[in-house]
């Protein structure tokens, strides 16, 4: 039975015009049309058969009636052929039904005909077929009036035909007609009722979906607010954590240098441990903040063109000591000339060093291989950087979880080797940000191979957008924070003592300009601990420091001191570093003074947009200062060249 019903449904669906299948209302109407035309003649022809049997002279009126009823079977075929003519076919069908009813009534009983009751079916079917719009109502009502009017006029004008079958003999056909009409209306009404019920359930389902959608929208809004709060919290906390960490690292570097100069071996080992622990903690803080920025969609690319061969040489100098810690050998495999690439060097270095660090950590007495090649794929040049090790390897069931945040291969790995589980996830996200990805091959007990694949020319994700000259990230809201002095008094006293004991010696070693004056650098930062560290680092490199924690005084200081350069912190309460550099560059007396921006956050591209001469990411050390001062020296040389010209 179900198979027969399925076949019937498929047949009706096949007859349904394709453009009416997706609209629920139109689809319902056309199904009513097709069902009534497929089954209607079966309920009409019993009357034809009765008349043909009982009328001594049935021709031609019974034949016309039979042809009119049979014609209903032609309408589904006509609809299949003329799919755009449904409205016209429905009107013709309604007219054909009216004709059949009134034709039978005219020949058998007139106004008293037992067939006249069928006229009540006409408007019902018309609304089933065409809906209850105003246009449908007007047309059907006018059609009904016209047909009944013509029937009435025919009788009034004497065109009535004597019934071949007396009314008294048509009791049987009256019952048949009544039963057929009732059955027809019952079937159509039942189907329509089921449609209405299904639509009612559909409406209830729609209401439930709307309620679910509202709940999901509220949950999404809550999640976005929570994510925003998390990002703000991480940004704020990173600033609060980095400030004392920078002081710890700065002081430990100063004390370590002093201990090395004085030959205090026991202190050197302790200070190295302090410095190493501080750098490890700062690295974790940076990783968490980077992940947070990527998840919040606030990560930015700082694209530059650089020599990949030189970049790999720098990586090699870092990777060899890493590999040697666990007595591993390090092998470098690369093409003879890799050429230039255009991408974010900082993010690439971070990704590769994460992989090298992992390889060194999970491999003992083995081999770590760094291989680089340049190749063409899809008409574009790509760079592949593979880090292969002969370490512990990773089981197949643990591969899927490896790139998730805070995830490692298994708990025993965490217990034995430590780590936060952020390195691989961060590296993968950084590579995806540059249009690439990281591939992995590994076998438990034999080692792993992580391969970074990146386009040689990375396209800026925002290159299609018009960038404002100054972009204020939500993370820059840290500039409004007031950072409390978290260093203990004993540490400050120790630094102060070191300053006093060695100030005279350092003053004698200050670098001089052409006029014989000390090379003076103004340092602006709201953190007194950083100012202390900066003064010592600058003094060691031969520069005289003028310190200030008030950014509003920098222009006046620059006019008076005429410094060799200005080191300017980005995030300060009130007037931030971006406001200060704009003021310096706008003043005639200070516009040629080199400015190097310093910050806990990566603002290198933003510093370039503000015409800064360099950027230093905290913590400050001698190497970073030397690189920045080299750029400052080049800038002064270019200025002198212009003046000489």
C-beta separation of 35 from 128 below 8 A: no
Lowest mean pLDDT among 332-346, 419-433, 539-553: 419-433
C-beta separation of 597 from 603 below 8 A: yes
pLDDT score for 588: 86
Q: Give the separation between CA 556 and CA 572, rounded to whole angstroms.
A: 18
Q: What is the mean pLDDT of residues 427-435?
A: 87
pLDDT score for 76: 92
pLDDT score for 371: 93
CA 511 distance to own-chain centroid: 53
Looking at the structure, give the CATH architecture of the domain made up of residues 305-459: 2-Layer Sandwich (3.30)
Q: What is the mean pLDDT of residues 134-156?
A: 83
Residue 423 tokens read as 């390195």
Q: Give the separation between CA 406 and CA 450, rounded to whole angstroms.
A: 18
Neighbours of 636 (CB within 10 A): 17
189: pLDDT strictly greater than 80:
no
pLDDT score for 341: 92
Residue 435 tokens read as 């249009």
Strands, DSSP E only, in 282-420? Answer: 304-307, 329-334, 340-343, 367-377, 380-389
543: pLDDT strictly greater than 70:
yes
pLDDT score for 403: 67
C-beta separation of 105 from 116 below 8 A: yes
pLDDT score for 509: 56
Q: Give the separation between CA 628 and CA 613, rounded to whole angstroms.
A: 8
**What residues have CB less than 8 Å from 423, skipping those under 6 apart?**
287, 354, 357, 358
CA atoms 492, 498, 501, 506: torsion sign: negative
**What residues have CB less than 8 Å from 415, skipping those under 6 apart?**
none
Most confident of 79-83, 493-497, 551-555: 79-83
pLDDT score for 158: 67
Please tell me which residue, 481 or 553, carries the higher pLDDT value. 553
Tell me whether strands 304-307 and 340-343 are parallel, antiparallel or unpaired: antiparallel
Q: What is the mean pLDDT of residues 266-271?
A: 78
Q: Give the separation between CA 631 and CA 612, rounded to whole angstroms.
A: 11
Q: Kindly report, residue by residue over 611-639, the tens digit of the pLDDT.
A: 898 888 887 877 888 888 888 888 888 88
418: pLDDT strictly greater than 70:
no
pLDDT score for 329: 92
Q: Kindly report, residue by residue over 355-366, the tens digit of the pLDDT.
A: 898 888 888 899
C-beta separation of 368 from 324 below 8 A: no
Lowest mean pLDDT among 192-196, 464-468, 561-565: 464-468
Q: Give the separation between CA 46 and CA 172, rounded to whole angstroms.
A: 11
Q: Kindly report, residue by residue over 467-517, the tens digit of the pLDDT.
A: 433 333 333 333 333 333 333 334 444 444 444 444 444 444 566 666 566
Most confident of 197-201, 393-397, 461-465, 589-593: 589-593
What separation in angstroms does the CA of 506 have from each of 460, 510, 519, 560?
46, 7, 13, 23
Indicate the CATH number of 509-644 among 3.40.50.12160, 3.10.20.30, 3.40.50.2300, 3.10.20.600: 3.40.50.2300
Closest CA to 540 of 589, 572, 507: 507
pLDDT score for 442: 86
Q: What is the mean pLDDT of residues 86-99?
A: 90
Q: What is the mean pLDDT of residues 208-222?
A: 90
Lowest mean pLDDT among 109-118, 288-297, 403-412: 403-412
C-beta separation of 76 from 37 below 8 A: yes
pLDDT score for 262: 78
55: pLDDT strictly greater than 90:
no
Matching residue, tokens 């999404």: 220
C-beta separation of 612 from 597 below 8 A: yes
Q: Give the separation between CA 537 and CA 618, rounded to whole angstroms.
A: 13
Average predicted confidence (pLDDT) for the chain: 79
384: pLDDT strictly greater than 90:
yes
Lowest mean pLDDT among 329-343, 466-480, 547-561: 466-480
Neighbours of 52 (CB within 10 A): 15
Q: What is the mean pLDDT of residues 392-415?
A: 63
pLDDT score for 188: 73
Give the global pTM. 0.48
Q: What are phi and psi of 375, to 5 degrees?
A: -145, 170
C-beta separation of 573 from 526 below 8 A: yes
Q: Give the separation between CA 13 and CA 6, rounded to whole angstroms.
A: 10
- Domain boundaries of the chain, sorted by first residue: 10-169, 305-459, 509-644
């Amino acid at each position: 039975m179900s198979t027969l019903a399925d076949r019937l449904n498929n047949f009706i669906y096949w007859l349904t015009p394709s453009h009416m299948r997706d609209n629920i209302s139109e689809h319902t109407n056309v199904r009513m049309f097709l069902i009534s035309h497929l089954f209607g003649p079966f309920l009409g022809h019993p009357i034809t058969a009765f008349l043909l049997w009982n009328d001594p002279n049935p021709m031609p009126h019974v034949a016309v009636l039979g042809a009119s009823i049979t014609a209903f079977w032609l309408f589904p075929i006509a609809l299949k052929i003329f799919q755009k003519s449904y409205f016209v076919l429905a009107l013709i069908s309604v007219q054909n039904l009216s004709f059949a009813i009134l034709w039978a009534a005219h020949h058998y009983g007139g106004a008293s005909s037992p067939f006249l009751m069928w006229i009540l079916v006409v408007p019902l079917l018309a609304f089933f077929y065409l809906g209850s719009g105003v246009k449908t109502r007007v047309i059907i009502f006018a059609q009904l009036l016209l047909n009944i009017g013509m029937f009435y006029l025919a009788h009034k004008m004497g065109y009535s035909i004597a019934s071949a079958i007396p009314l008294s003999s048509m009791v049987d056909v009256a019952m048949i007609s009544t039963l057929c009409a009732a059955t027809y209306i019952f079937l159509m009404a039942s189907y329509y009722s089921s449609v209405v019920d299904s639509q009612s359930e559909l409406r209830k389902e729609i209401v439930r979906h709307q309620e679910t959608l509202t709940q999901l929208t509220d949950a999404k809004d809550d999640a976005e607010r929570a994510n925003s709060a998390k990002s703000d919290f991480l940004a704020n906390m990173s600033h609060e954590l980095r400030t004392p960490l920078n002081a710890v690292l700065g002081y430990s570097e100063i004390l370590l240098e002093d201990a090395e100069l004085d030959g205090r071996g026991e202190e050197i080992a302790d200070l190295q441990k302090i410095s190493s622990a501080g750098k490890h903690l700062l690295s974790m803080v940076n990783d968490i903040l980077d992940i947070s920025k990527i998840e919040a969609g606030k990560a930015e690319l700082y694209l530059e063109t650089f020599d990949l061969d030189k970049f790999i040489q720098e990586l090699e100098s870092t990777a060899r000591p890493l590999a040697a810690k666990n007595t591993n050998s390090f092998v470098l495999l690369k093409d003879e000339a890799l050429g230039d690439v255009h991408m974010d060097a900082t993010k690439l270095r971070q990704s590769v060093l994460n992989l090298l660090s992992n390889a060194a950590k999970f491999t003992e007495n083995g081999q770590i291989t760094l291989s680089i090649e340049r190749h063409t794929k899809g008409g574009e040049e790509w760079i592949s950087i593979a880090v292969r090790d002969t370490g512990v390897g990773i089981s197949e069931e643990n591969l899927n979880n490896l790139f998730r945040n805070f995830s490692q291969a298994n708990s025993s790995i965490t217990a034995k080797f430590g780590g936060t589980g952020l390195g691989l996830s961060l590296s993968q996200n950084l590579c995806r940000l540059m249009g690439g990805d990281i591939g992995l091959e590994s076998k438990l007990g034999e080692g792993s191979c992580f391969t970074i694949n990146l386009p040689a020319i990375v396209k800026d994700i925002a290159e299609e957008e018009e960038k404002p000259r100054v972009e204020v990230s939500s993370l820059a809201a840290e500039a409004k924070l007031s950072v409390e002095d978290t260093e203990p008094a004993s540490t400050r006293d120790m630094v102060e003592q070191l300053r006093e004991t060695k100030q005279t010696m350092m003053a004698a070693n200050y670098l001089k300009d052409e006029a014989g004056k000390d090379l003076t650098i103004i340092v602006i930062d709201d953190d007194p601990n950083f100012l202390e560290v900066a003064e010592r680092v600058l003094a060691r490199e031969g520069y005289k420091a003028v310190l200030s924690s008030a950014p509003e005084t920098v222009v006046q200081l620059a006019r008076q001191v005429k410094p060799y350069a200005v080191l300017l912190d980005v995030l300060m309460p009130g007037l931030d570093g971006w406001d200060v550099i704009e003021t310096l560059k706008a003043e005639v007396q200070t516009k040629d003074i080199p400015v190097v921006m310093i910050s806990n956050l990566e603002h290198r591209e933003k510093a370039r947009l503000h015409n800064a001469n360099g950027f230093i990411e905290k913590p400050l050390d001698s190497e970073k200062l030397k690189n920045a001062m080299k750029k400052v020296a080049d800038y002064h040389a270019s200025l002198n060249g212009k003046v000489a010209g």
